Amino acid sequence: MKESVVKSYDELPLFLNADMLAKVLGVATSTAYELMHEKDFPALKIGNRLLVPKEKFRLWVETKTR
């Protein structure tokens, strides 16, 4: 298992791409892409890119960990 390289939400950019999401969660990039394609995950598509707004990601984590 990989370890997260980010220690707080304040360190994150406004939008996370798959590479950053993988680093935050401590998973492989392929796993981050799979997560970003799930129906209830707050990813948005801009052109060919998938991005996750930092605040929506934070709320998603809180919802999933309750």
What are the pLDDT digits (tens) for 30-63? 999 999 999 999 999 999 999 999 999 999 999 9
Is residue 49 classed as helix, strand or coil in its secondary structure? strand
Across the range 13-41, mean pLDDT stands at: 95
The pTM (predicted TM-score) of the whole model is 0.86
For residue 4, give the DSSP letter. Answer: P
Q: How many Cα atoms occupy the beta-carbon half-sphere of 32 within 13 Å?
A: 20
Domains of the chain plus CATH, in order, are 9-64 (1.10.10)
pLDDT at residue 1, rounded to an integer: 65
| Cβ pair 27, 33 in contact under 8 A | no
pLDDT at residue 53, rounded to an integer: 98
Pick from 23, 21, 66: which is nearest to 43 by CA? 21
pLDDT at residue 6, rounded to an integer: 80
